[in-house]
Chain A
Amino acid sequence: MPILELETVSKSFGALVVAEKIGFSVEPGEALGVIGPNGAGKSTLFNLINGNIGVASGIVKFDGRDVTHLSPMQRCLAGMGRTFQIPQPFERLTVYENLLVSAAFGAAKSEHEVADACANILEETGLIDRANDPAGSLSLLQRKRLELARALATQPKLLLLDEIAGGLTEGECNQLVATIRRVHQKGISIIWIEHVLHALNSVAERLLVLNFGRVIGIGQPAEIMASREVREIYLGMEV
């Protein structure tokens, strides 16, 4: 049984179609990469999956349940953790408290139980030195790490990552990939939207290509990258 399954999911903003009959599924423990040009509807796809935006039609199934009409809060409790492309920290809370919110609510634990788990995630994501600073004082890169840390603290079954590798140095990027691989090795399913292809390809087992709200390809990374349509549309290359 797939961990996530979308069936003919559609959504428009006015005349702009951002999702057109999208259907695919993700197996438990799988890592799926999502690529596509800017404005293709990738972030919107995450919003449809986690319920931030309601679908116009279609079905979203998570962990064997129809979650199409559940709120983002309920989907988080069911095991979806997500990051936002534009970081959304709780600015007046400290970095540690940001994680505490995810752990206490998203993973439904008491504050006392999760102190060590949160601290471990902060160490893993390189934020431990900023633990007691207000999240509003973080740089953009640190805010992106906080997005990842918060999503991890909800103890997700499915992790949705939206462009978290942009702007990193090579060393930082390798570190990030190592972190995501460790998460993946624990059996957590991942969907990762990313433009940094070498990072994505070192984790993703399959790639999904999105353009104008439509899935134009899904399969092995090598196949996908070699396909003519993808190269034309995504890489902007004439072949």
Chain B
Amino acid sequence: MVANREASPPTTAAGASGSRWRVETRTTLSTAFGIVAIAAMLLLALTPFFASRGVVQDLFFILTMLVLAQNWNLLAGYAGLISVGQQLFVGCGAYALFSFVILLGLDPLLAVLLSGVFAALVSVPTAFFAFRLHGPYFAIGTWVIAEVGRLLFAQWKALGGGTGTSLPRDATRDMIGIGFLKETLGLKSAAAVDALTFWVALILLAATMGTMYRLLRSRNGLGLAAVRDNEVAARALGVDAMRMKATVYVVTAFLTGITGALTYLQKARISPEAAFSLTDWTAYIIFIVVIGGIGTIEGPIVGVIVFFLMQNALSSYGSWYLLLMGALAIVTMLFAPRGLWGLASDRTGIELFPVRRILKRGPNHQGTKGGPHG
């Protein structure tokens, strides 16, 4: 068992004076980690002030990939929805951004948010079809729908058809906040755009992980974990598995769409091939989640670092690099199904985002501060 559970704070208020049991989830370690994580985020937020544009862009890439990975992790690792069609929502989000900015002249930052809403709307009819399929058929179904999406957007002449298009320069330069950054920090336009998109990505990641951790510790998170482990039993015990899966599907589509929009705001150039790429937005993401450890919040963090290092070291080898990644993912699935983080966590008992509810004998501390009660 995990040795480092802390005696407090209890997370439940079983309340009644007769209560003999209390429940805890947090550990000393996880509380310390939480503080370190917030400090690290704040420190990371400062990078545009001292690091080169190249570093800021690399970090932007890591952050956005991690957001996508956490979403796929929630989808596949908790809701049991093995989608290989998440590129649909990246592509829809990205194309929605370009159409809002180019055709409607909206501010790009506002458009990023609306693009997420658009992706969520697309996910509703997608779910309607895909949820009729199960197991491998669901996976294939999501992929086919994503291909249909790519073909449809390739027909859209106003956004460059099959060859794609670019964002007009002034669209990003006049974006909310850019003028302020240029004035106060003396940044050039391009660097200011990089810094702004980086900060938005950082906020997006913090919001995604924060929401996910809260969700997993909540009653609905418990239900989701039950569905993950055994859907038939979960339904027989009163869990509305269908509603949970549908909610997760739409919420992850929203966040994936926002990430797609943000990514292509930063790239400023779009094409159907790139925005609906199976390799970039699903294969790499699955690799990250599987290598790091599916069904844990920590796993994808480890996975994205491994992925980034591998890509820097090996991407010049072209398709050999993809083969190696595939082989590594398969070996992991066979010998360490819970990924690198699973290995480390099993060995040390460490959990940075504990969600397990530990039942302990003894009354709740809350409300007993005034001294012992009868």
Contact = CB atoms under 8 A, between A and B. Distances in A.
20 contacts: A73-B241, A77-B238, A84-B233, A88-B232, A89-B229, A90-B225, A90-B233, A92-B228, A96-B23, A97-B222, A97-B356, A101-B222, A104-B219, A105-B234, A106-B238, A108-B238, A111-B12, A112-B13, A112-B15, A150-B233
B327 interface: no
B69 to A, nearest CB: 20
A97 B14 CA distance: 15
Contacts of A105: 219, 223, 226, 234, 237-240
Nearest to B364: A115
A206 interface: no
A71 interface: yes
A111 B219 contact: yes
Nearest to B12: A112
- The 4 A-B residue pairs with the shortest CB-CB distance in the complex, in nearest-first order: A106-B238, A90-B229, A88-B233, A105-B238
B234 A90 contact: yes
B55 to A, nearest CB: 38
B225 A132 contact: no
B34 to A, nearest CB: 21
B20 A119 contact: yes
Given A73-B235, A110-B219, 10 more contacts: A77-B238, A90-B226, A96-B23, A102-B237, A111-B12, A111-B23, A115-B23, A116-B20, A118-B359, A150-B237
Contacts, number: 121
Contacts of B238: 73, 76-77, 102, 105-108, 154
Nearest to A118: B359
Contacts of A113: 14
Interface in A69-110: 71-73, 76-77, 81-82, 84, 88-94, 96-98, 100-102, 104-108, 110
A173 interface: no
Contacts of A63: none
Contacts of B323: none
Interface in B221-254: 222-223, 225-226, 228-230, 232-241
Contacts of B13: 112
Contacts of B232: 52, 88
Contact of B359 (A76, A77, A82, A115): A115
A118 to B, nearest CB: 8
B150 interface: no
B237 A92 contact: no
A203 B12 CA distance: 38
Contact of A115 (B14, B222, B225, B240): B14
A96 B237 contact: no
A73 B232 CA distance: 10
